[in-house]
Amino acid sequence: MHSRMEKLKSYVYKSKSGAEFIGICGMGGIGKTTIARTFYELESSQFESISFLENVKGNYLKSLKEQLLSDTLSEECTTNCGTIRNRLCRKKALIVIDDVDHLDQLETLVGERDWYGSGSRIIITTRDRHLLIAHGVEEIYDVEPLYGDEGFQLFTWKAGVEDVHRRPDEYVEYKRLSQRVVAYADGLPLALKVLGSALRGKYVEELNDQLERLKHNPNKEIMEVLQISFDGLEDEDMNIFLLIACFFRGSGHKDFLTSIRKKIGFPKISIGNLSDNDKDYVTSILKKCSFNPIIGIRNLGDKSLLSIKDNKIWVHDLLEEMGWKILEKKSLTEKLGRQIKLWNVSNVSYVLKNCTAIEEIEAVVCFDLSKKCPTKETFLNFLDVLTKMKKLKLLKLDSYSLSGLSSVLPILQSLSNELDNQSDLPMLQYLSNELLILQWVWCPFQYFPLSFQPTQLVEVDMSYSRICRLWGTVEHLPKLRSVRLFGCINLTEIFNDFTLVPNLEVLDLGHCRKLSKIDPSIQFLGKLIHLDLRGCISLENLPPSLRGMVSLKILYLGGCHTLRDLSKDIVFLKSLELLNIQDTAITHVPIAILKNLRELFFDRSSHFHEWHHPGSFAALDYKRLSRWRSI
């Protein structure tokens, strides 16, 4: 609390004279009221008149005004006690207006600066930043979550970790589990307090059970506080929030990919602005879904349901969890806002038989499809539903939950066995041509339907799937920016003509073991930034020319055991910053490429003696030299 007090004081005492308004803004449960109350109790003696109007939301403004005057004047006030301006204009007042949610509350209770005497401070807490701006509040303290030691200390204080006598080994385990609870709370003081109090005096086994329960049943008290902001949204903003929290922000897919990549020894790579939380990317997709996302995202930010940092959209973990719970409760037949429907794959059989709104669904998301459709029959029912979605624009599926992958993670051959078990499935009959995002990790199908011509497609991710060929014949795909097919061990061919995808920025073909060639037209991808071919063990040659790939920054070739040569004109790739040629048969690398490289991954070979000059590595700020002892 000390750091928060110091932060608030920096706003409160920034000006030496005059009356000032100070806003405290943040999501529900972030500690706005606690901060304001603590300051009020510590600093009230410095003011002539004081008043703390708690939870003004929903209260009668006339009675609140009377309470304010009674507090500040130390006398009982009625309707004849005069205006705030007349009674307080010569007094140095400290007034806290807590939990404001409408502008008329500020107009009636706060008014203008000239209502108060010099040195007065009016502190306003709210979830809605726009209200503060609209009322002319210039000093706004945006409250951040309690991370690190402060968060852990708050939880352990409420949980009484130090108060219970425990064996040394039990104490260590209890602290470890406590840290998991703190991580779940993600710095939200309300969650830290509620969970801490609920777990006070509990044994290790009980704490562990509570953690497992939280995975499926979030604490109701916490969710109710968080949902207040959501319930006050316009319909369109509700839809935008659910899409951002559950479709774009959803973390299950990312955790899945990251864990597998770590298991096979490669780090996660983040490129440019292609991440799911990039503001420009999310905005462009939502526009194509007939939303007005610029004002919608601004409204959500003002309501403290998301934040924008470095052009990235951030949603607190518990707000994301709230979004999923709201989505589970929404009936598929319920019309929401602009008619867009977001379905999280539940009650498949019921939906198939009873729902008449299937064709209106525009977004589907599910990170544990194998659990939602545990039998072949339920999976076929899901496919039947999917084929009826003619307006589907956003599809994000993960056929296997992360917890169910432990037996198949160590080697990709296990992936092959698992996929072979699904070979008796019928062909996929239909996918919407309206798709903008197609993400189906661990997809069991080898081919797309012949009718699938998604000319508006922006992103494809079919990692760890049975797919053999991306498309047979396809029209021009001018909007396609990202294709990720990592771990598609049956893939034998990609695009026959890369000029059909002129705006492609990411091409991830890592561990596509049967891929033996890349079409020479790849040289015309002038916007390609990231090319991943690592682990493509059947790839013997690169295209003869890469000269046109002027934007390429990252080139992964590690693990291509039969690859012997780099394209001669690789020296013309002036943007290249990272090159990985570990575990390849490459026998010569032009020394000229070192000029712009920042990261280099290679094995010791006799031909590298030509790199003896220190100036050759002038641009390198990081070198990982596997099995290399000296230069």
Q: What is the CATH number of the domain that holds 428?
A: 3.80.10.10
From residue 281, alpha-carbon distances to 15, 187, 365, 500 in Å are 41, 27, 18, 21
Inside any domain, residue 174: yes
Assign residue 127 the CATH number of its domain.
Answer: 3.40.50.300
| DSSP string covering 338-350 | SS-EEE---SHHH
**Is 247 contained in some domain?**
no
For residue 23, give the 3-state DSSP assignment.
Answer: strand
Residues 526 and 619 placed together within one structural domain of the fold: yes
Q: How far apart are CA 368 and CA 356, in angstroms?
A: 25
Give me the residue label for tokens 């690592």.
534
Q: Check whether residue 413 and residue 429 sit in a common domain.
A: yes
Which stretches does DSSP call E strand in 225-384?
307-309, 312-314, 341-343, 361-366
User: Which DSSP state fits 63?
Assistant: H
Last residue of one domain, picked from the residues 99, 114, 142 = 142
Helix (H) or strand (E) holding 140: strand 139-142
Find out whether 40 and 46 touch, Cβ atoms under 8 Å: no
**Residue 307 within any structural domain of the chain:** no
How far apart, in Å, do the first and last CA atoms of the chain sit?
54
**SS3 of residue 266 by DSSP:** coil
Give the structural domain span for 549: 402-626
Burial 535-572 (b: 16+ CB within 10 A, else e): bbbebeebeebbebbebbbbbbbbbbeebebbbeebbb
Considering the domain architecture, whether residues 154 and 86 belong to the same structural domain is answered as: no
Q: Give the relative orientation of helices 168-185 and 204-216 as an angle to the nearest 10 degrees.
A: 20
Residue 334 located in a structural domain: no
Q: Which of 84, 114, 142 is the last residue of a domain?
A: 142
Answer with the one of 98, 125, 142 that is the final residue of a domain: 142
Same domain, 521 and 421: yes
Question: Residue 203: what residue type?
Answer: Y
Residues 82 and 194 in one domain: no
> Do 88 and 165 share a structural domain?
no
Same domain, 119 and 159: no
Is the CB of residue 575 less than 8 Å from the CB of residue 599?
no
Amino acid symbol at 149 = D
Same domain for 495 and 417, yes or no, is yes
Q: For position 491, what pLDDT does the model report?
A: 94
**Cα separation, 631 vs 627, whole angstroms:** 12
363 in a structural domain = no
Residue 615 and residue 570 share a domain: yes
pLDDT at 356 (0 to 100): 62
CA distances from 104 to 100, 109, 185, 346 (A): 9, 8, 34, 42
Of 481, 574, 570, nearest in space to 528 by CA: 481
507 strand-pairing partners:
483, 531
- Short-list 457, 455, 458, 464, CA closest to 490: 464
pTM to 2 decimal places:
0.77
User: pLDDT value at position 423?
Assistant: 55
In a domain, 276, yes or no: no
- Residues 6+ away with beta carbon under 8 Å from 450: 472
What is the pLDDT at residue 482?
95
In a domain, 341, yes or no: no
What is the domain count for the chain? 3
445 lies in the same domain as 576:
yes
**Domain identity same for 72 and 155:** no
Q: What is the pLDDT of residue 82?
A: 56
- What are the pLDDT digits (tens) for 175-201? 788 888 888 888 899 988 888 888 787
Q: Kindly give the parts of the chain with pLDDT less than 50.
A: 251-274, 332-333, 335-340, 401-416, 418-419, 606-607, 613-614, 621-631
Whether residue 135 sits in one domain with residue 76: yes
Quick check: is 89 in a domain?
Answer: yes
Other C-beta atoms lying within 10 Å of the C-beta of residue 267:
8
Give kind and range of the element (H or E) at residue 93. Answer: strand 93-100
In 3D, which of 48, 44, 106, 103 has the Cα closest to residue 74? 48
